[in-house]
Structure 1
């Protein structure tokens, strides 16, 4: 039986695919359960330096919660699903590796919230996205009301969530939602090239820089500087730091091993 979540490792890159084409990669409970297992396996894998999340097919990244399933659920089961999706997306956000949402099609509701849980968002030029939950008489429940205003500001986030606006890729970029927009024909190569730009640097340093940024954003400057100092200190005894110095003196590219 084919799994709803597929994972492929390309060297130090992991590509996680939401594999429910017939449901536009919507999240039912089983998909969330599988995604949680995959994210945990990536978190503890020292060989993975960057993680890409994508949707199967060319039509949708993910359209969010599986509404066909949702119609069959009791209120208690709905609460279970909401708790699970929030838990899994927080785990995505907490991954030590840099993460990229490769938005290859529609990203609505929970699909957009998964993208917001990632560090970077790269989208094809001909798609639509948004937090559309209020049009269904609910609200974003997987971090959207918290992550979106932190990304683009309270006023813009309030506008998008309360109007349930569907954005084109260009509009999403103008709002500050996207890292970049690429053509569909070059989409995969552009995403992989962006990942390579991240993977060429010291993997321990990249993880510690992400840790310092994420954990320093919501504290005062003095505390943030202390977090940065501690994160820096973890890079000092590494073999990669010495390799970088040696490579510089020998005028060659460093070969980082994540040690």
Structure 2
């Protein structure tokens, strides 16, 4: 996999994808396209069971969209860029494998939207967050107004979106925007520890959990329960279900084969 703005390393069934546009790793159309492509490739790879997404350097995870590209676009051009970003973020959100955001520094605007599209988020204690778009005369266009409110509720979402003020990793943890905060030097080890645990889980069951949660969040309770039942049935039909239950009865560690 050769990319201009992404670095990727695969080890022990874990892919670590790094956005590589230092010093602050801004997102442009090319990065969005590369993110869509690499996630498709990793989804198809039998060597990958979990993915970590991070930014290059200590300064930024992603400090927003590339203003230098945006300032020269007309309405048609910016809508094309927006659709490209939406495709990338939706690809990550709906990937059949778990994605962990390791937030090493600034996660602003599109960078925070990218993190919100991931399944789990671990932040460095030095990380800072904001949706500054309103101060630029625009609004978040990569899902920020929608994904944020599902996590923090409408009132807090409007506060963060209206004022656009920077907030710390600790507040992000309090608001459940991130799952965990660690020292910078512990960030990737912590993300890899989680990824290693996920890589040992039965892949189909993980996929069905993700599908049930993601799809169920957009419908009423009864519809969500119907989705869950379908996902439950799909997981129960696997060889890994037989192995998991038998291992439990025999009091041994299961050996999952991914089908």
CA distance in 2, matches of 1:46, 1:225: 30
| Number of the residue aligned with 1:50 | 50
- Residues 94-150 of structure 1, C-alpha deviations (whole Å, 9 max, x = no match): 111111111011000000000011111110001211111111111000000010001
| Number of the residue aligned with 2:97 | 97
Q: Is the 8 A contact 2:49 2:199 kept in 1?
A: yes
What's the offset of the Cα at 1:92?
A: 1.1
Q: Is the 8 A contact 2:14 2:50 kept in 1?
A: yes
What's the offset of the Cα at 1:155?
A: 0.3
Relative contact order higher in (CA < 8 Å, ≥ 6 apart): 2
What's the offset of the Cα at 1:199?
A: 2.4
**Alignment RMSD:** 1.6
1:8 aligns to 2:18 (yes or no): no
| Number of the residue aligned with 1:116 | 116
| Number of the residue aligned with 2:257 | 257
SS at match of 1:129: strand
- Residues 142-170 of structure 1, C-alpha deviations (whole Å, 9 max, x = no match): 00001000111000000000000111111
What's the offset of the Cα at 1:210?
A: 1.0
What's the offset of the Cα at 1:197?
A: 2.6
What's the offset of the Cα at 1:223?
A: 1.5
In structure 1, the gaps of 5 or more residues are none
Q: Which 4+ runs in 1 deviate beyond 4 A?
A: none
CA distance in 1, matches of 2:77, 2:41: 26
What's the offset of the Cα at 1:46?
A: 4.1
SS at match of 1:235: helix
CA distance in 2, matches of 1:228, 1:75: 41
What's the offset of the Cα at 1:2?
A: 6.1
| Number of the residue aligned with 1:228 | 228
SS at match of 2:235: coil
CA distance in 1, matches of 2:79, 2:225: 39
CA distance in 2, matches of 1:248, 1:17: 38
1:246 aligns to 2:252 (yes or no): no
CA distance in 2, matches of 1:15, 1:176: 23
TM-score (normalizing by structure 1): 0.94
SS at match of 1:6: strand
What's the offset of the Cα at 1:5?
A: 1.5
| Number of the residue aligned with 1:183 | 183
1:201 aligns to 2:183 (yes or no): no
CA distance in 1, matches of 2:141, 2:3: 28
TM-score (normalizing by structure 2): 0.94
CA distance in 2, matches of 1:151, 1:171: 13
| Number of the residue aligned with 2:63 | 63
In structure 2, the gaps of 5 or more residues are none
1:128 aligns to 2:153 (yes or no): no
